[in-house]
Structure 1
């Protein structure tokens, strides 16, 4: 994303942070669109006014996915604790003086969620959260969008996303063949589901 576009988004996020009280900005989009990168760059530009809380911290643990028979679909909507994520957003919106809220994160080297990884102090006015299903409207995911003051959809063409996803899976241990099969069978199926929520976003951002 060029500097001009990032500057514009940072100004919009800063304006949200400066409205008073705690605000939550959500960045949704398909796998590989660059959500975590954009969210981190925005947080860096806001000079302490924002904390990044990823949705991926609510992945179910691998052992639980295996127990449920869902390990082969890791990343699908029912492989997350969606209700737990929504409950955290409720708590984050109601910042309590003197109370730091701790959010989970996802460790890609372990391929596991890690509790208590992200401290959110009460004085920070903006929480930036990112993930695939912030605009999803089925089951417990439907509770998420009403908890966001703004929801952005990061759009990136599959010709750019797919090679990035394959490279990511290879980097974290899959063979090239395994990575391509996982992207085709899992990630792109999830991407089609995520795209259905595009029209519910307040802003569509063109990725690069």
Structure 2
């Protein structure tokens, strides 16, 4: 039986651009739910676009029908990035275990009645924690978010093949960059350090991610303000 979703076999010729409220996105995600089946919704966009905030809103509204599994759980450990000489550009495509992420998504598509455990990235310690998110076999919708869901190279393309639908969050650079600066400051960088990191690392990644925009099934411009929890960091 072929368990790959339609986007693995054929891509839409052109992305649809939608201005939507959070309630609209909840309704679209809920429409993907089919009892007894498993669907995977991917949410991508540049750093600071609000991916994790939208995912949290969807999960809160959908309750036990949805679980968030983030790409960020596949960050390589800091000591491994040091060994590879990549620590100063953490967040670039080659600083993740893309093969592991693709393998997890394939397991999630066909869990064979088993609970599948996913890792989570703890931004407070800047490391991933394995087997932190249980995904029970009866959960009909997996929401996965990350920067490189539509990158057409190597293992990233295999990861994309496991997704049913991918939304690209589109946000003005002015708002997005300020969010990034605040995020870095929240986790210990000075304003100068934050500006340097955003310019040399985050924006370089954002430019790469922008090239994947046209591969999304839906380009979303969120038109209402999603309330920010004090502990929630925009991604």
Q: Is the 8 A contact 1:33 1:207 kept in 2?
A: no
Instruction: Indicate the SS of the match to 1:132.
Output: coil
Conserved? CA contact 1:25–1:128, under 8 Å: yes
1:104 matched to which residue of 2? 119
**Bigger relative CO (Cα 8 Å, ≥ 6 apart):** 2
Contact kept, 8 Å, 2:22 with 2:222, in 1: the verdict is no
Q: Distance in 1 between matches of 2:55 and 2:137?
A: 20
1:33: which partner in 2? 49
Aligned pairs (5 A) from 1:52-131: 52-97=68-113, 99-131=114-146
Asked if 2 retains the 8 angstrom alpha-carbon contact of 1:103 and 1:119, the reply is: yes
- 1:201 equivalent in alignment to 2:216: yes
Instruction: Give the Cα–Cα distance (whole angstroms) in 1 for the partners of residues 67 and 196 of structure 2.
Output: 35
Q: TM-score, normalised by structure 2?
A: 0.85
Q: Over the residues paired in the alignment, what is the CA RMSD in angstroms?
A: 1.1
Ranges in structure 1 where 5+ consecutive residues have no aligned partner: none
Q: Is 2:149 the partner of 1:134?
A: yes
Q: Encode CA deviations 1:36-83: one digit per residue, 9 max, x unaligned.
A: 010111011112100000100000000000000000110000000001
Q: Is the 8 A contact 1:17 1:23 kept in 2?
A: yes
Number of aligned residues? 204
Select the residue among 154, 159, 165 that pairs with 2:180.
165
Shift of 1:20: 4.5
Q: Contact 1:34/1:207 (CA < 8 Å) preserved in 2?
A: no
Residue 6 of structure 1: how far off its partner (Å): 1.3
User: Alignment partner for residue 164 of structure 2, among 131, 146, 149?
Assistant: 149
Asked if structure 2 preserves the Cα contact closer than 8 Å seen for 1:103 and 1:118, the reply is yes
Give runs of aligned pairs for residues 45-56 of structure 1, distance below 5 A: 45-56=61-72
- Larger fraction in helix: 1
SS of the counterpart of 2:137?
coil
Shift >6 Å, 4+ stretches: none
Task: Compute the TM-score of the two structures, normalised by the length of structure 1.
Answer: 0.95
Q: Residue 63 of structure 2: SS of its match in structure 1?
A: coil
Structure 2 Cα separation of the partners of residues 206 and 20 of structure 1: 31
3-state SS of paired residue (1:163): helix
